[in-house]
């Protein structure tokens, strides 16, 4: 009995062995190691702060002009149109008497027409001449800038074909205008004109050349360039008496 007791581990010894096994990963049993010092914030390597990402502003597109499909009276535009031309009365109906708006005819003139603000119609009875006068807001254009819209302008007033070829840039009544003659959809002698000056754009069709010319002369227009005067020829000097051969 005493032999068995000497062979069994004592409880205190077993506790010591278990404690040592649990702490084997931290410290060696029966020995102490100095605890490594905890680094202070000043001892840590500095880390560069990441830059704050800046958002790239999204470009805002420039809004396109909005066509105007209401037509308010424009007294100045009305006064611009003469009351008579070549002895004929010019009828200028109130804007409430016709259903066309700046936006309607503006569709003919593309980007230019988007800026039409007011419209005034006029005609010479019995429909010998019809005029569309438009006021536009900036940016303004000149007569040459209307070239992309010529075919559509002609169709709007009755020309059958959407063709650019018949239009010519010419001077009529001292003004630079686009002009074209009739085709098989219009009466003989018909002429169509369109031009721009300052804040105005005009479209006109007429069958009477005298009326057409008189109306063009009465309305504002882009003046034709004045031709530069040609230098006068310098007369050749006449031979002097001393330079003439002596008589024999």
- Kindly state the average pLDDT of the residues 204-214: 96
The vertex-176 CA angle with 173 and 182, nearest 5°, equals 80
23-74 per-position pLDDT tens digit: 434 444 444 555 555 555 555 555 555 566 667 777 766 677 889 999 999 9
CA atoms within 13 A on the CB side of 173: 18
Which residues does residue 177 pair with via DSSP β-bridges, in sequence order? 170
pLDDT tops 60 at residue 150: yes
φ/ψ (deg, to 5) at 128: -80, -20
Lowest mean pLDDT of 7-11, 78-82, 109-113, 157-161, name the range. Answer: 7-11
pLDDT tops 80 at residue 6: no
Q: Which residue has the higher pLDDT, 235 or 110?
A: 110
Lowest mean pLDDT of 154-168, 179-193, 219-233, name the range. Answer: 219-233
Token pair in block for residue 4 = 């068995």
pLDDT tops 50 at residue 153: yes
120-130 per-position pLDDT tens digit: 999 998 879 99
């Amino acid at each position: 009995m005493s032999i068995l007791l000497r062979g069994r581990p004592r409880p205190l010894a077993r506790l010591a062995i278990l404690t040592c096994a649990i702490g084997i990963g931290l410290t060696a049993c029966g020995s102490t190691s100095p605890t490594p010092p905890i680094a202070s914030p000043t001892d840590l390597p500095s880390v560069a702060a990441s830059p704050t990402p800046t958002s790239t502003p999204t470009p805002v597109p420039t809004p396109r002009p909005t066509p105007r499909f209401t037509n308010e009276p424009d007294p100045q535009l009305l006064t611009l149109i003469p009351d008579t031309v070549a002895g004929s009365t010019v009828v200028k109906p109130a804007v409430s008497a016709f259903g066309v708006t700046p936006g309607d005819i503006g569709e003919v003139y593309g980007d230019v027409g988007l800026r039409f603000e007011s419209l005034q119609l006029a005609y010479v009875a019995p429909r010998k001449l019809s005029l569309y006068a438009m006021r536009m807001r900036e940016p303004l254009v000149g007569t040459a800038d209307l070239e992309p819209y010529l075919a559509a302008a002609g169709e709007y007033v009755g020309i059958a074909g959407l063709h650019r070829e018949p239009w010519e840039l010419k001077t009529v009544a001292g003004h630079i205008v686009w002009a074209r003659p009739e085709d098989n959809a219009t009466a003989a002698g018909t002429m169509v004109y369109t031009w721009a000056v300052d804040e105005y754009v005009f479209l006109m069709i007429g069958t009477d050349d005298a009326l057409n010319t008189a109306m063009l002369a009465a309305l504002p227009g882009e003046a034709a360039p004045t031709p530069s005067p040609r230098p006068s020829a310098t007369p050749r000097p006449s031979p002097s008496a001393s330079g003439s051969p002596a008589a024999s």
